[in-house]
Every structure is written in C-alpha cells, then in structure tokens.
C-alpha cells in the first residue's frame, strides 16, 4: 500500500514536470518566433525605406535643384535641406 502511494506521488510529480517542461518549451518557441517575425518586419521596412528614398526627389528651396532624398545636402549649393516640407492641402 505504501508503495502504491509513493508510485502515485511520483507519477503526479513526473506529470507536472512534463507539463511544465512542455509549457516552457512552447513559450520559448513562441518568443523566438515573435523575435524572428520582428526581425523580418524590420528588414522589410529598411528595404522599403531604401527604395522610397531612392525614388523620392527633393527640391532645394534655395536653388531649385532636384535631387534624391538619400543625400544630406543639395549637390548644387551644398545647403542642408534634409527637412522635407510637404505642401499643405487646400481646404475648400
């Protein structure tokens, strides 16, 4: 009788250990999957930003030269015009 109680206690603790181990592995797997997803999203945004900056053109407010947005200054007059001012939409 004492051995059956001891066996039941060992069975209960081993079942709890297996359940906790499975939960820890599942948590670790989902956390790494989320981290991988964030990294992929960050890479995607970097690629989009790179292509967007190559396509976007800026007009220098001083000399009216048009150049790409990935330059920090105007190639003609060397003015620092990194701040992009978008035109206001008229409200009628």
Q: H/E/C letters for each residue in 25-80?
A: HHHHHHHHHHHHHHHHHHHHHHHHHHHHHHHCEEECCCCCCEEECCCCCCCCCCCC
**Structural element, H or E, at residue 11:** helix 2-55
pLDDT of residue 65: 84
Looking at residue 92, its pLDDT comes to 66
Q: What is the mean pLDDT of the chain?
A: 82
Rounded average pLDDT over 61-87 = 77
pTM of this prediction exceeds 0.75 = no
């Amino acid at each position: 009788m004492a051995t059956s109680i001891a066996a039941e206690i060992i069975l209960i603790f081993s079942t709890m250990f297996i359940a906790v181990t499975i939960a820890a592995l599942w948590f670790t797997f989902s956390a790494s999957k989320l981290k991988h997803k964030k990294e992929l999203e960050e890479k995607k945004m970097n690629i989009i930003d790179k292509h967007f900056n190559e396509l976007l053109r800026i007009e220098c407010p001083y000399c009216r030269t048009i150049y790409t947005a990935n330059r920090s200054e105007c190639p003609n007059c060397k003015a620092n015009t990194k701040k992009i001012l978008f035109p206001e939409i008229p409200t009628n």
